[in-house]
Amino acid sequence: MKLFELFNSNTNFKLIDESGNILKYAFEVNGVKFNAAFEQDISGWHFDFQDVAEGDAGYGITNKGNAIAVFATAKNILFDAIKRTNASEVFFTADEYESSRVKLYNRFLKMMEKQGWEVRKESNGLQTAFYAERY
């Protein structure tokens, strides 16, 4: 199976909380549990995901394997959350040392741009912020 086919494959996730300005999701890949959140703040809707067992450290690279399945699920959650909220401004951030997450978010922006979103990214040398807006 080619990389793009894996990235676009069906994945299982569950919306576990939809209250106010936040949607929380849960998913599991090869026995590793993850949470994802889509939360609205003054800058728009922020998306992130993490390994549950790693706590706050789980936002980075955990080296537990199967990054493609994790990223495919994260992508599907992002687009599910956008659909549920009708979000018009979305952003996500990655630390510069997280090269796989930076690549993933670059891919998210390309996908969103193909769907008519205006996209941009900004970096301060330590972290990159990825923005997508539609009107």
Report how far apart, in Å, the C-alpha atoms of 92 and of each of 1, 2, 31, 44 are.
Answer: 28, 26, 26, 10
Report how far apart, in Å, the C-alpha atoms of 61 and of each of 1, 12, 37 are.
Answer: 24, 21, 17
Task: Evaluate whether 77 touches 90 at the Cβ level (below 8 Å).
Answer: no
Residue type at position 67: A
- Local confidence pLDDT in tens for the 135 residues of the chain: 444 445 555 578 999 999 889 999 999 988 889 999 999 999 899 999 988 886 554 444 555 567 788 889 999 999 999 999 999 999 999 998 888 889 889 999 999 999 999 999 999 999 999 999 998
Domains, the chain, ranges and CATH? 3-133 (3.40.630.30)
Task: Evaluate whether 35 touches 52 at the Cβ level (below 8 Å).
Answer: yes
Q: Is the whole-model pTM more than 0.85?
A: no
